[in-house]
């Protein structure tokens, strides 16, 4: 079964995303901040990470940087979630190794398409 790690500090968004992924048949782990996300990614080595951009303790770019520096996690597909639709951020995210970017609010079809690209 494919495992997804959701790193999101907003509990309602995280809960909805986790619920949707589980209904779609994925095994899901969740982290409420960037530090916990890095720890879980290192422990679990999920098949895909979906990570908020703005979070306490470590923001999404710090999470991505930490995971890309670790040989055990550098290969894991990584997608950002963000309320910001600034194209510059998308370019920076891709340049730092992210596979893509979903802007909040996103549709379930957009999420399904993202997942289909990796599974």
Domain layout of the chain by residue ranges: 3-116
Q: Look at the block and give the residue holding tokens 């500090």.
A: 9
pLDDT in tens, 14-65: 999 999 999 999 999 999 999 999 999 999 999 999 999 889 889 999 999 9
Tell me the pLDDT band of 67, cut-offs 50, 70 and 90.
very high
Residues 39 and 46 sit within 8 Å (Cβ to Cβ)? no
Q: Does domain 3-116 have CATH number 3.40.50.2300?
A: yes
pLDDT per residue as tens digits for the range 86-104: 667 777 888 889 998 888 8
Burial tier of 100 (Cβ tally within 10 Å: 0-12, 13-18, 19+): middle
Task: Please give the pLDDT value at position 85.
Answer: 63
Work out the pLDDT band at 119, boundaries 50, 70, 90: confident
Tell me the sheet residues that pair with 30: 6
pLDDT at res. 50: 97
């Amino acid at each position: 079964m494919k495992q997804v790690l959701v790193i999101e500090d907003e509990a309602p968004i995280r809960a909805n995303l986790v619920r949707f992924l589980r209904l779609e048949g994925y095994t899901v782990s969740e982290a409420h901040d960037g530090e916990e996300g890095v720890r879980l990614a290192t422990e679990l080595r999920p098949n895909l990470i979906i990570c908020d951009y703005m979070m306490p303790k470590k923001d999404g770019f710090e999470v991505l940087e930490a995971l890309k520096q670790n040989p055990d996690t550098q290969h894991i597909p990584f997608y950002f979630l963000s309320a910001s639709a600034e194209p510059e951020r998308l370019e920076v995210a891709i340049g730092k190794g992210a596979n893509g970017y979903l802007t909040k609010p996103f549709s379930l079809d957009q999420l399904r398409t993202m997942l289909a690209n990796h599974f």
